[in-house]
Each structure stands twice: as structure tokens, then as C-alpha cells.
Amino acid sequence: MSNLSFRWYGPDDPVPLSYIRQIPNMHSVVSAVYDVPPGEVWSDESIEAIAQAARDNGLVFDVVESIPVHEDIKLGRGDCARYIENYKENIRRVARHGVKCVCYNFMPVFDWTRTQLDKAAPDGSTSLVMYMDQLKGLDPLRDGLSLPGWDASYEKDQMRELFAAYADLGEEGLWKNLEVFLNAVTDGFEEVSNLSIPAKSLEITYNTIRNPGLWSTLLTVILPIGVLALGLFAWARRRRL
């Protein structure tokens, strides 16, 4: 069963919880702690403040979007191990406050790509959009960070260093670091009961048949051969006719 949820950016969000709760069948809010730098630990007080605000409006805070992944984790360098431990601690903390789903983003540098946050629809509603023609030719190292929602916390020199580091890492290296991250942050959560956190692997696996019995042999070997033989027999008879 799925529940209806709505994104809420905290007390400074122009859409207050008192509005969100009026949406029919609304169940929960999707939020996060926005005043802590990526890689650091969220305080229990900050998490509880979101949960309490949701409860005060008849809602539930059970989805986090997102716990930011520090660039050192994505690049597999520097304080990567410490940041992974901090990430795991954040998972434990949000779980204690009722969160059941944690979203994450492993995109290099920029968490998303939108060119407009208030595209008006014919009915007057607004939404996020991305137009490729507005994006083409944009160089954040030359033009500055001009797209809505891009992280403006990096100085130009930091941006250049990150771009160079990701170029050296390459796509294969990024996938490998994602695998390391997923396996690390899904290990050692025996005390967490409300979050289902199975260990992940990005390796390709294949279905194999081990110790086949009579029925599996019949279904996977004999039956297909029999169907093929009947087809060939029918084809041969039609050819002679």
C-alpha cells in the first residue's frame, strides 16, 4: 500500500504545513535538515522539530529527501570513511524519529538540473521544468552557477578542482565508489527495525539452476526440446504437401 506525501522545505517553505494537510488523503511530508553541511551529523533536535511540526498538522514525517552524500564519498578520497560513518549515524537518527525511507543522490557536484522552478500551466499551477536549449552552452566554470537549485557553496577554484577530480575518476570509478558506499551504509543496522536496509551490490548476477530435479529438468530441457521437435515435424509435413 502506498501513501500520499508532499515535499516540505521546513519553516521557510512558502507552502506551510497547514496548506499541505488540506490536500485530500495527504498522509506524510518529505523533508530534511537543511542547515547542516553535507557529511556532518544531524542533531536529534533538528530531526524531532520536523517530526513534531508534521504531527501538529496531522501528518507524518517518514521520508527523508535527502541525506546529502559528501563529494569525498563520491570520489573515494580524503575523509570518505568518516563521512560514511556520519551518514550511517544520520540513518540511525532519522529512523529513531519514525523515518522509513531515505533518499540519496550520487550525482557529481550538482544534485539536480532544472532551468525553471515556476513554469506556469494553463490552469495556473506551477511546476519544475528543464529546457535543454537553456542548458546548452552553459559552463559553470565560466558562466557562474545560474541554474535554480544548484549548490552555490563552492568557490570557482573548488569547482575547478572537483571537475578535474571527477574527470580523472571517470564513469567506471564513480560506479565503483557508489557500490562501496551502498555496501558500507547498509551494513550494521541490526538495531534499526523500521527501515529495511538490505546490503546492495551493483555486480551483474545470473540465474542458474543448481541440482535440478525431475520437474525442473522436464520444464527447462525436455519440454522445450519436445516443442521444437513437434514444430520441425509439422514444418516437414507441410513441405511434403
Predicted confidence (pLDDT) per residue in 138-177, tens digit:
676 676 555 555 555 667 778 888 889 999 999 999 999 9
CA dist 197 and 90 (Å) reads 14
User: 156-170 burial, b for 16+ CB within 10 Å, e for fewer?
Assistant: eeebeebeebbeebe
The chain-wide mean pLDDT, for the chain, equals 83
What pLDDT sits at residue 28?
A: 95
> Across residues 7-22, what is the average pLDDT?
93
Which is more confidently placed, 188 or 167?
167
pLDDT at 31 > cutoff 90: yes
Q: What is the pTM of this model?
A: 0.72
Share of the chain above pLDDT 70, in %: 78
Beta strands in the chain (DSSP E): 4-7, 26-31, 60-64, 101-102, 116-120, 126-129
Which is more confidently placed, 29 or 157?
29
CA dist 63 and 26 (Å) reads 14
What confidence category does residue 227 fall into, taking pLDDT thresholds of 50, 70 and 90?
confident
> What would the pLDDT profile of 119-131 be if each residue is shown by its tens digit?
899 999 988 888 8
The type of residue at 228 is L
Which is more confidently placed, 23 or 207?
23
> Across residues 172-193, what is the average pLDDT?
85
pLDDT at 205 > cutoff 60: no
Which is more confidently placed, 138 or 106?
106
What pLDDT sits at residue 29?
A: 95
> Across residues 96-110, what is the average pLDDT?
89
CA dist 113 and 69 (Å) reads 17
CA distances from 206 to 67, 172, 209, 221 (A): 32, 21, 10, 18
